[in-house]
Structure 1
Amino acid sequence: MFVPQETRPGERRVAATPETVKKLVGAGFEVEIQRGAGTAAGYTDAAYEGVGASLVTSAPAASASADVVLRVAAPTDAEAAALKEGSILFALVDPYRNLGLVRRLAERHVTSFAMELVPRTTRAQAMDVLSSQASIAGYKAVLVAATHLGKHFPLMMTAAGTVQPSRIVILGAGVAGLQALATAKRLGAIVEVSDVRAAVKEQVESLGGRFIDLPELGTADGAGGYAKEVTREFLDKQREILKARVALADVVIATAQVPGKKAPVLLPRDMVEGMKPGSVIVDLAASTGGNCELTRADEEVHHHGVTILGPSNLAATVATDASLLYARNVLNLLVLLWKDKQLAVPLEDEVVAGTLLTHAGDVRHPAIAPLLQDAAVRA
């Protein structure tokens, strides 16, 4: 097994920690770690050696001989080409936007598991990378907003007078949004939350937030706890209701995404221009187009006195704990393939089948295979 140092710009996480390597070695794996792989996340080479891993310098050579490769970000073309034919890859492949990579992995007969495809079921919770990383991103989004906002979050009563608490609007009550809500409340802010799924209202209120009701619009609850795409009429009415709430907000944290789709634009230009000078938008959907019309991924935009931040990988800025959780998620999935010190892919297992992207030369995931077929037809 090989764990390389990540090469994606800004990626500070690592796919295995000394904690999980110790368990892998104990289970019978021979684990190789590229020198420096965990340094940015606070895990030293000595810590890996201390639990039984071997250190290597050349990633291509180690990849070429490894039966299993654990990564965080998707491999580059060169890194994919270095994988041994028939090997097993665990990574955040981002298959909807990396169809070419998916095809190359299949052609090399790599058995690949896209960690973002882990089913949202009770049994799979311990492997749910999207939830573990989104929780960290939601937490950090509030801290980023607080850093850029020229106001206190909590009510402050001083000898010089009272300072009113900041008002925060959160768009999307998934894992990131709920963690942002919990963090902002701990800091003393007044928090309102909007979501197209009526079912999350109780969760929002249990954390001390106020749910922004969208009356007479039905529901947009999708399978697996995700939001589904909604109609144009639904979005227009939602924006009308949000416009009044956003105009009063000091901070807007946007987290609304639909799997495999471009993020819905919930903050058009005119809504931003109606916000108070000095207010801040943190758009966690920046990597999929952004919930704000003016968002630019990994850039800081200033428009009409509003600061718009589009971090595409906030979890990587909390690399120690993000790596800890990611590595545990991967380990919990990997053990489903490890029986009697032999690797096998139990296709009958719903978690394995739901996460499996490529296997035995084929693209196996039911949501991705048709996209490749459509791309081939268009070509």
Structure 2
Amino acid sequence: MKIAVLKETADGERRVAATPETAKKFIALGASVAVEAGAGADASISNEDYAAAGAIVAPRHEVLTGAEAVLAVQAPDPGELNGIAPGALIVAALDPFRNRERIDGYAAKGVEALAMEFMPRITRAQSMDILSSQANLAGYKAVLDAAAEYGRAFPMMMTAAGTVAAAKLFVMGVGVAGLQAIATGRRLGAQVSATDVRSATKEQIMSLGAKPIFVENVAGIEGEGAGGYATEMSDEYKAAQAELVSSHIAKQDIVITTALIPGKPAPRLISDVQLQAMRPGSVIVDLAVEQGGNVEGSAPGEVVVRHGVKIVGHRNVASRLAADASALYARNLYNFLSAFWDAETKRPVLPDDDEIVQGVRLTRGGQVVNERLLGA
């Protein structure tokens, strides 16, 4: 089986879908790996590194010719996949809800598109979960980005000239990114508090040494959707949360927002009115900016100042740590394909009745087959 690894073409995308480590592992399974020249450059991986691992390094058209699996970070254009084998696997983060036209293009081309971000959140799929691996790095980087924009120190400092108070950091949304943001903020010496619509996260917040800020005695506090994701809340809960958040963020120096609902725009957590209550020089990092933003006035790819508050809206935050993000992403893809690897045919066999396969498979046999897309 020939596996093709493409150089990413999306603006600002610095990651790569395979590293020399995973290329070597695929070759050990009996596959051949062809890497587009320069694919790993932005992640500090040279062509020579891939060649030393046993991969073929070549121009894009040679890499794609005869490929039976194409590995990428972001969805490649169906029209550019010239020369691939019939029924080839496309394994990437395909952003299916916002890229439906592209998914239809994969179906028309007869390839089998596998969306890694649709990976079910079950125990045996944890090592394949790109959302978790990339969100973990994004949560870490969000705090560093906040520190870079914040004009003061994070930890309390006692000096001969007086005491510098610790920064107050508030994390909104305690998924993988939020938990890492809490941990990073604590390591840097900030006073950290956090909130989430899922009451089960209260214990996780406390275990990291942060203070939980939760709406109490309001219907719908559970907020637990399918697969451990957050779900939309009742109007009563939203009103109570807005009141609680308003009083809390007015006292905060830094806010990290991470809330996302799969397949829907990011929920609005901070309004312009709430921004006005924050102190000048405060910083907000909106990790949901590319899905519409948790913060009113945030802009993708920009640092906006409103009412004296900096709102940081960097795109593709995990890609800003390209080397580590690529290493984790590449292992996610290897763990997925190798879990279904058939030793005799030396290729992955994806059973129709498998929960993981059903979750990630978008197209097959010229049709869109994923239930989440068919029901959208």
Does the alignment pair 1:35 with 2:37?
Answer: yes
Do 1:60 and 1:79's aligned partners in 2 also have CA atoms closer than 8 Å?
Answer: no
What runs of 5+ residues in structure 2 fail to find an aligned partner? none
Among candidates 227, 238, 246, match of residue 224 of structure 1: 227
Does the alignment pair 1:308 with 2:311?
Answer: yes
Change (3 A) 1:346 1:336: farther
Matches for 1:43-82 after TM superposition, within 5 Å: 43-57=45-59, 59-80=60-81
Q: Please list the CA deviations of residues 190-239 of structure 1 after superposition, one character each: whole Å capped at 9, or x if unmatched.
A: 01101000001000100011110211123211121111111222212111
- Which residue pairs with 2:195 in the alignment? 194
Q: Please list the CA deviations of residues 233-269 of structure 1 after superposition, one character each: whole Å capped at 9, or x if unmatched.
A: 2212111100111101100100001011100001010
**Could you tell me how far 1:312 is from its partner in structure 2?**
2.2
Deviates more, 1:350-359 or 1:91-100: 350-359
Amino acid of the structure 1 residue aligned with 2:322: A
Matches for 1:172-183 after TM superposition, within 5 Å: 172-183=173-184
Amino acid of the structure 1 residue aligned with 2:15: R
- Which residue pairs with 1:349 in the alignment? 354
- Which residue pairs with 2:117 in the alignment? 116
What runs of 5+ residues in structure 1 fail to find an aligned partner? 372-379
- Which residue pairs with 1:146 in the alignment? 147
CA RMSD, Structure 1 to Structure 2 (Å): 1.2
Q: 2: distance between equivalents of 1:355 and 1:173?
A: 25
TM-score calculated relative to the size of structure 1: 0.95
Q: 2: distance between equivalents of 1:322 and 1:366?
A: 29
Match of 2:333, SS? helix
Do 1:214 and 1:241's aligned partners in 2 also have CA atoms closer than 8 Å?
Answer: yes
Do 1:168 and 1:251's aligned partners in 2 also have CA atoms closer than 8 Å?
Answer: yes
Do 1:80 and 1:105's aligned partners in 2 also have CA atoms closer than 8 Å?
Answer: no
Q: Please list the CA deviations of residues 315-361 of structure 1 after superposition, one character each: whole Å capped at 9, or x if unmatched.
A: 00101110000000000111133202134221222112211111122
Match of 2:200, SS? helix
Do 1:285 and 1:312's aligned partners in 2 also have CA atoms closer than 8 Å?
Answer: no
Q: 1: distance between equivalents of 2:113 and 2:339?
A: 14
Among candidates 353, 367, 372, match of residue 367 of structure 1: 372
Q: 2: distance between equivalents of 1:287 and 1:258?
A: 13
Q: 2: distance between equivalents of 1:219 and 1:82?
A: 50
Among candidates 22, 25, 28, match of residue 23 of structure 1: 25
Deviates more, 1:170-179 or 1:60-69: 60-69
Q: Please list the CA deviations of residues 67-89 of structure 1 after superposition, one character each: whole Å capped at 9, or x if unmatched.
A: 10000011135335665431101
Matches for 1:239-318 after TM superposition, within 5 Å: 239-318=242-321
Q: Please list the CA deviations of residues 94-139 of structure 1 after superposition, one character each: whole Å capped at 9, or x if unmatched.
A: 0010010111111111111101000011110000000000000000
Number of aligned residues: 370
Do 2:64 and 2:82's aligned partners in 1 also have CA atoms closer than 8 Å?
Answer: no
**Could you tell me how far 1:283 is from its partner in structure 2?**
0.1
Instruction: Name the % identity.
Output: 46
Change (3 A) 1:333 1:38: same
Q: 1: distance between equivalents of 2:52 and 2:308?
A: 52
Match of 1:143, SS? helix
- Which residue pairs with 1:376 in the alignment? none
Q: 2: distance between equivalents of 1:216 and 1:364?
A: 42
Q: 1: distance between equivalents of 2:339 and 2:126?
A: 14
Q: 1: distance between equivalents of 2:281 and 2:105?
A: 47
Q: 2: distance between equivalents of 1:31 and 1:198?
A: 46
Runs (4 or more) in structure 1 with deviation over 6 Å come to none
